[in-house]
Amino acid sequence: MSDKSKNVTSAEELRSMYKEPSVVAQEKVLTELDEHCQKMISLSPFACLATTAADGSLDISPRGDPPGSIKVLNSSELLIADRYGNNRLDTLTNLTLNPEIALIFLVPGMIETLRVSGHAEIISDEERLETCVIDGKRPPTGILVHVHRAFLQCGKALKRSALWEGTYQIERTDLASFGTILKDQTNSQLSADELDCSIDDAYRNKLY
Is the pLDDT assigned to residue 121 strictly greater than 70?
yes
**Domains along the sequence of the chain with CATH:** 21-161 (2.30.110.10), 172-205 (no CATH)
Q: What is the pLDDT of residues 138-187, one digit of tens each?
A: 999 999 999 999 999 999 999 999 999 999 999 999 999 999 999 999 99
**Can you give the length of the chain in residues?**
208
DSSP H stretches of helix in 21-176: 23-27, 35-43, 90-97, 126-129, 156-161
pLDDT bucket at 4, cuts 50 / 70 / 90: confident
Q: How far apart are CA 108 and CA 194, in angstroms?
A: 33
Rounded to the nearest integer, the mean pLDDT of the chain is 97
- Determine the average pLDDT of the residues in 17-30: 95
